[in-house]
Homo-oligomer: A and B are copies of this chain.
Amino acid sequence: MTVDGLSINTATVREQFDFRQAADACVRHGIAAFAPWREQIAKIGVPEAARIVRDTGLQVTGIIRGGMFPAADKSGRDAAIEENRRAIEEAAALNADCLVLIAGGLPKGSKDIAAARDMVTEGLAALLPQARAAKVPLALEPLHPMYTADRACVATLEEALDICDVLGDGIGVAIDTYHVWWDPKLMSQIAARVGAIGYSRITSATGWCPRATCCWTAA
Contact = CB atoms under 8 A, between A and B. Distances in A.
Interface of A: 106, 111-113, 117, 144-146, 148-149, 153-156, 158-159, 181-185, 211, 213
B213 A184 contact: no
A110 to B, nearest CB: 10
B155 A182 contact: yes
* Number of identical protomers: 2
A170 to B, nearest CB: 22
Contacts of A158: 184-185
A10 B215 CA distance: 41
Contacts of A185: 158
Given A144-B145, A145-B144, A145-B145, A111 B184 contact: no
A182 B213 contact: no
A188 to B, nearest CB: 11
A107 B149 CA distance: 29
A128 B132 CA distance: 54
10 contacts: A106-B211, A112-B213, A144-B145, A145-B145, A145-B155, A145-B183, A148-B182, A155-B184, A156-B184, A159-B184
A181 B113 contact: yes
Nearest to A153: B182
A22 B170 CA distance: 58
Contacts of A148: 182
B159 A111 contact: no
A185 B113 CA distance: 12
Contact of A211 (B144, B149, B155, B213): B149
A16 to B, nearest CB: 29
Contact of A117 (B144, B155, B184): B184
Contact of A182 (B112, B113, B184): B113
Contact of A111 (B106, B144, B183, B213): B213
A178 to B, nearest CB: 12
